[in-house]
A and B are shown apart, each in its own frame.
Chain A
């Protein structure tokens, strides 16, 4: 740690970084994780990387509105600028008009810019990283959000010296010897509030009106070939400067004077608060959310049950066809976007996937069967976690991509890397409200826009510039809206307010201020999920073990049913209405279905009698009996297996056997025995009796109409596609910083003079860093000098050689090896160091 350098003003970003302690470096790397992938060798490299355009754009995009405005102000300020300059630009000229709120908030914004390594330098010499300055400073092609134009110096760059002197004279300044000093004098005049005010008093009212039209930007105006006198006057004074024929610009200094020194028309120093639209009792919120959670579980189960016997086919381009989505929506009795949400949720949770067969279809995964066995609350927590972390964005479904193709559910191109972050952030903002408060949606959106202005520009176009144009612009806003509606569907919120289980899920205890921005680490998330499930469990209603049967052939389950009961009823009756309760209707078709599934009428009567609190209505008894009677008449499904043999005698022998009754054999025809035992038991029994039966699967013989559930091979849920590298944890950060520091120390430690021939003779191989090695090699190619290198061969043996490099390319150096007296090629990474030879060494 080079603490001694701290006192001296840093001369570069790298030096500024070197002066920062580990904690502050860690904060930087946490905020800009792209800087340590891969881990840089030293702070110089870190600083270089922090100055690359891609990285700076990324960092700027993550600034809140006020920090961004501060950066924009720095971009139009002199370089370097003092804190006073910046304050003047942000809060206005010192005096009554200066905004105290801005002054109070500015240190925080500046601190953030410093943390993010966008600004460095002392208070009196603040420097915006050059790339950031280029990105944010106004230019004709790329207007700044400040609406400011170029400086006098920039605007007069191509002007003839004579013209400059004329302006000087018109403004009442003494002439100078050269244009540079003339422009400087003009700039000083424009920057001086008093003189400038005096100058402006001399121009006519009309002229001042022209200036005021341009003052808040855009600063460019059109003039005719022969401008009117009031324009002429402005041009003469240099208050408007020509940029190209027919176009004039208001110089930055003039605009700032007219604006009272402000770079922005309006600054937003404090984040807009998230306001509550309604307050509910927390119990109501939790109960409503629990109700929705239960519905979510039921819906996902229903969806996969519907797809149990082979779901819809996978489109060739991937995803679900529009028709299948419609069908699913009808089956679930929800709108198509909601159906798409449930499908995507099940997919994100790894509960459904394409089965991978040649005729590819969607089906439940084995994980679904495990999921089904879990308690309700844990099942919900799994769904909610999957939703929270997924980058897949169901809200996009039905829209069109850049190539005008419809985005289909479960299809490609639905990943939006910002989605999890926005979800977490929205929920964190909700967590910041008091318990039971439902937020005003617009205030949430406004807050999000403030936090990431470049990612979600306002529609009025005040925020232009930055990366991401076109449809991506309001993606974050749309994501936030989707988050709010999906949260309600999933039971994360109830009546719009965050419910207690969801608070636990995002790791925000009740009453937290919602300041937490970083997502939970995987291990923490698992714990949070478990905590959420614990909170949810008591909120869910107890499953019931009975239903109410009615004479109109309906059954009402006045609450969630125990799973086995629900499953049998689901077969025996059609679901007519869902929600807190379930209404079932018995029809001949549904009863037949139950009989088909291997149940008998007696079974069903017993089942209904057991689970009904009231006597079974007579019409229902009749319905079952009627259907069962006709069902039996054709004798389909009554037998489980058969024995077929051309030899009647052999069948008689089997029937006569003492061990036969156990299998429930009976003769259907001379050559056919039917058995009550299932085929496997029958085979086993016959074998035990000393026969050699073979299993038969003749086409068309359906024994029991119970189809096997269709499953995919084991599948993993889709990986979220994060935006950039993941945020490193503390251990990794510490290690990275140690490594960078070490490398930095090595590269900046004072060096001994280059080792000469004498030291070579001592056998100490030179050691240099890879960058330096490469640079020296390249230099040697140009100069044709011989170098002394340390080299490790493929076997790991170190040696020293003297080479004259011929060319360096592709990681190899081709050189005349003085030691071996021939041209050889060495991999650069095997060269441990290089040193120039002493002059006498050739």
Chain B
């Protein structure tokens, strides 16, 4: 009994990373446990019903899970926990969704009382049709997603054996000339394809677009790609043209400005969720072609209405891509039940160790408010407090100092408040990209930044996602969307793309000390700290004095 794993009674698993058997153990528990935190010494995994069911779906049984726990555990595993694991896993597969030649989609059971129990539920009743025999009940084909979601909530997850439609075939090949998919990308594509549908979690900068492209090359069918905004849509298009056999003409953009429907169509969430007179006019996009694959970029941002549409698309293969499956609204389980279970997940530090993302030096700079600012802060209304402390004048001085220190490198300054950004832009003599900047102007500025014509760019949260800025090496965050963990991760992602010269990336977060700014910062950093990014804390005075 000297294993690397400690099984806690609250069903968390603590893995001691420096242990000689840690890697074996990690492999053994990965199928059923979610990596929750990965700081330097002890990684925390959590065993959830969802995780156990996903493991069952992937073909693991309770015995394997129990074996893994018992084999690697340092202390005896509580009996109750083992019993619970076995019982939970036993619940999976009692119900199956399948295609019946005569009755269409049916829900079958191997355990009649379970079927009786779920049919009694008020939430299931409207989703099912006639009882075909004691063990089988018809399901309205359109409710396939809904019933899976509901059954999961009832604790009787259904195994979906109804399969997928192939969709309209369209030849897509990866154009691997002078580059190749990285091993983990290949693994991700393979896992996704094998599983049918699901979510791939990769750090920012680790090449999620290529996982999408790889999956399309597997599917070889018409594909609908949903992205967060137009800039991101253009980048997807650019990347697909470069990396696959697809040509410009085969890829359509469906956004506020253009409404093209081509074999591969890239649409923004915004246009899909536009509502006019209570209806979503662009919904027919989903039905406009016989899509064989639907890709959801940045799945953690999936807006609620898209969940609803997705529920109707259960017969099509669905790929979710994200860097941080952390939703501040806690709807992770909807992502799992509607898009699919997590098929691939790699800790950031692991990818970093393989050299595919740049190592980053994360620094939190703490600035003091001046006396007058403190008074203003103390007397501000609650909703104004964050703005007061986040936009302190000292932050400007600190930002200037950092920009001076890294002069010559590509620097991004990211913030929340336009006034603050405008002021910074003025002092740093740098262009500012914000919501009102036109797409044309944005792309021009990005291109100039990419070419090194400008070295400092001030951006608002419009640039949070999918802005490909390959040579940004320093990011300075002056303010953010309160305590958003995924925003912090996305922003760090801006500088993680591997650098041509292999040098380190720098991420500065400037925080006003002893204010809610600091509390928010602590919350924002939690995800990254759990991924093993240790923030260094520096005093603004020291930083200014070092000048």
Contact = CB atoms under 8 A, between A and B. Distances in A.
A579 B8 contact: yes
B535 A551 contact: yes
Contacts of B79: 288, 292, 488, 494-496
A578 B8 contact: yes
Interface in B1-27: 1, 6-10, 12, 14, 16
B534 interface: yes
B301 to A, nearest CB: 24
Interface in A605-630: 614, 617-619, 622, 626, 630
B514 A626 contact: yes
B78 interface: yes
Contact of B534 (A288, A494, A619): A619
B41 A548 contact: yes
B76 A494 contact: yes
A494 B526 CA distance: 38
B537 A288 contact: no
B41 A614 contact: yes
Nearest to A292: B78
A580 B7 contact: yes
Contacts of A617: 40, 534
Interface string A541-561: 100000010111110101100
Contacts of A556: 14, 41-42
A690 B8 CA distance: 61
B10 A579 contact: yes
Interface size of A as a range: 35 or more
A287 B8 contact: no
Nearest to B9: A579
For the residues of A in contact with B, the DSSP-based class is: mixed
Given A579-B7, A583-B8, A617-B534, A552 B78 contact: no
A290 interface: yes
Interface string B389-419: 0000000000000000000000000000000
A265 to B, nearest CB: 32
A622 B529 contact: no
B44 interface: yes
B536 interface: yes
B450 to A, nearest CB: 33
A785 to B, nearest CB: 79
Contacts, number: 106
Contacts of A553: 529
Which of A551, A614, A619, A626 has the most C-beta atoms of chain B within 10 angstroms of its own C-beta? A551
Interface string A279-304: 00000100111111001000000000
B196 interface: no
B242 interface: no
A737 B73 CA distance: 59
B39 interface: yes
Contacts of A494: 76, 79
B361 interface: no
Contacts of B536: 618
B513 interface: yes
A587 to B, nearest CB: 9
B546 interface: no
Interface string B525-547: 01001100011110000000000
B10 A552 contact: no
A548 B42 contact: yes
Contacts of B387: none
B51 to A, nearest CB: 17
Contact of B75 (A541, A548, A583): A541
Contacts of A154: none
B8 A552 contact: no
B499 interface: no
Contact of A288 (B74, B78, B514): B78
B87 to A, nearest CB: 15
Nearest to B513: A626
A633 B37 CA distance: 35
Contact of B6 (A290, A333, A495, A558): A558
Nearest to B42: A556
B80 interface: yes
B526 A552 contact: yes
Contact of B1 (A287, A581, A583, A619): A287
B529 A551 contact: yes
Nearest to A495: B79
B152 to A, nearest CB: 23
Contact of A622 (B39, B76, B530, B537): B537
Nearest to A497: B79
B77 interface: yes
B348 to A, nearest CB: 13
B78 A291 contact: yes
Interface in B114-130: none
Given A552-B529, A558-B74, A618-B534, A488 B80 contact: yes
B492 to A, nearest CB: 15
Which of B9, B44, B73, B76 has the most C-beta atoms of chain A within 10 angstroms of its own C-beta? B76
B10 A550 contact: no
Contacts of B37: 552, 554
A577 interface: yes
A5 B488 CA distance: 100
A541 B1 CA distance: 11
A430 to B, nearest CB: 14
Given A551-B535, A618-B536, A618-B537, A284 B76 contact: yes
Interface in A320-375: 333
B1 A558 contact: no
Contacts of A289: 76
Given A291-B78, A618-B534, A550 B514 contact: no
A369 B137 CA distance: 62
Contacts of B514: 626, 630
Contacts of B41: 548, 550, 556, 614
A583 B44 contact: yes
Interface in A15-46: none
B39 A550 contact: yes
17 contacts: A292-B78, A333-B10, A496-B79, A554-B39, A556-B14, A556-B41, A556-B42, A558-B6, A558-B14, A559-B6, A577-B10, A577-B14, A579-B10, A579-B12, A580-B7, A583-B44, A614-B40
Given A554-B37, A579-B12, 11 more contacts: A551-B534, A552-B529, A556-B42, A558-B42, A558-B74, A559-B74, A577-B8, A579-B9, A580-B8, A583-B44, A619-B534
